[in-house]
Structure 1
Amino acid sequence: MKQEILYELETPYRQPFRLEGFRFGEGEHSCAIVGGIRGNEIQQMYVCARLVKALTAMEKQGMILQGHEILVIPCVNRYSMNVGKRFWTMDNTDINRMFPGYSQGETTQRIAGALFDAVKGYRYGIHFASFYLPGDFVPHVRIMDTGYQTSSLGNLFGLPYVVMRTPKPIDTTTLNYNWQIWESNAFSIYTRETANIDEESATQAVSAVLRYLSRVGVVKYTCHSGYLSTVINENDLATVLTPAGGIFRALRVPGQEVEYGDTIGEILDPFTAEVVAPVTATTSGLVFFAIDKPLVLEHEVAFKLIRRLHA
């Protein structure tokens, strides 16, 4: 294992900004793995830290196959993480909306450019990402449908679901999209948590990455086969909106089955704790995403459901 400073930027306050990476093995640029790009992505950083620990032990045992190199970057935005902000501390911009970056641009463009220079050219790219809304997911792999993707590779992670996303204009400046344009097979992995650590889904994510690397011939790793992944399109998910504003109480969690019309959440009056309105399932199926937010406005996304095929 080699720990390197991939990029350093002098700042007017505190110590310099550093982008650090861990390299394993030697040879072809086989896989780059990126963790927390945003300052609240603690779970994403933790999963990468667990991978660094696992790959260090595997390298000592000769389990990284000859001719392959793996790069792991656990944290991109440590400045924001240190002060508990999701986006860049100075101007509140999102590094994951700045790719492929620009070395002479704004600070976040420079960081994105340095990160992309470090990870482009790898055959496989894996990004531990988070959703724009605070909440919990069923662990899954997400792939941008750019025309450059190889969607069947997503099944090799052995996670419950592979989600295909049709890119929107805002997606063209993300790491995943640009990886694919530069001819890497790119995947985003979503675990159950973001700002909190969930050991169970972190262990599942580490196993999924090592399973994938084993199946594409980068490491020697024996594990159970995982799930037979179900491929779904993000546009086919049913969205459940909050019918009113107030205190939100979820009555279902990701992974649970629901029937059409079930009460799966409640909106409470913030002053009396009386139920203002129930949140009901718009289809029969499985809870894929549940928002984790104490106060909500009317017509916010509360749940996303995977429709049952016959529903």
Structure 2
Amino acid sequence: MPPAAPLVFDENAAHPDVWEVRVALAAKDWAAVTATVGRQHGGARTQLIRWAGGTADRAFLESVRAADPADGLAAALLGQRMTTDAWAIRTRNLARDVSPAQFRRFHAMLREAEEMLVDAVAHNPADPAVWCIRLITARGLEVGQAEVRRRYAAVAALDPHHLPAQEQVQQQLCPKWGGSWAEMDAFAQDATQAAPEGAHNGVLVADALYEHLLLDGGNRDKLLRNKDNRQRLAEAADRSVLHPAFERTFGWVAVANSFALMLCLVKDWGRAKRVFEIAGPWVTEHPWHLVGDPVAKFARYRGRAAGSRWRRPW
């Protein structure tokens, strides 16, 4: 491995389109926003909308959408801003640690977002980003698995491998949102195998293991030693981030970081080393916050992977 470049704890720095959209939004330059987002397609477009929309000026987005209710981009950005604000009220705490007052405000804001998004879908049913954000409101409003799957079917009909939507479904299938480990793992595996080789979708398998470790940490050693977990992770890495067709399209940094940590935790050092080489200096908060300070842990595990000799995990 070549000498390590200084680490950069800013995923957006690897994706300049995020800054372009945020600058354009701050300047209220809708033409520039539309042009920049328009360079992305499919799941990459939805990811850019989600990353940029969370900090956008709500009043400006409302004015843009009022001028053109059929503008799916304005609706998706506004929906993202509203759901971001709602989750800030709820926080990421477990439900038992969220007060009744917080839940009331959380649900009220999500209902407002849902009403706007329903209207947006009626105007522009072919925009997967709007449907994707409706998956977020569906989870927060706890409308049930059947409704979430109905909404996902609408996205899949437009784009069968739409990763941002699949990530939302995977969250819904976690036990913390009424699903089960078996459902979540099966969805991640099926989506990975269905996607083209080299696609980013394999990260669903890495993130499934992350969810297991986050919510079932007491069984950490058992989870990491589990032969099926290790095999699924290795196969997903080979099919996505380590495949020759893997592209550094929007979101690739998050994919590389998720695989890097999970491969290290299962002690698949050979694959981890190769993923770190792909990741370069880019460090993301997720999933590294699971094990401590992201930059420190990234550097530590990268060094360990670089100095290891390949051997079969465990």
TM-score when normalising by structure 2: 0.28
- Return the TM-score normalized by structure 1: 0.29
Which protein has the bigger helix share? 2
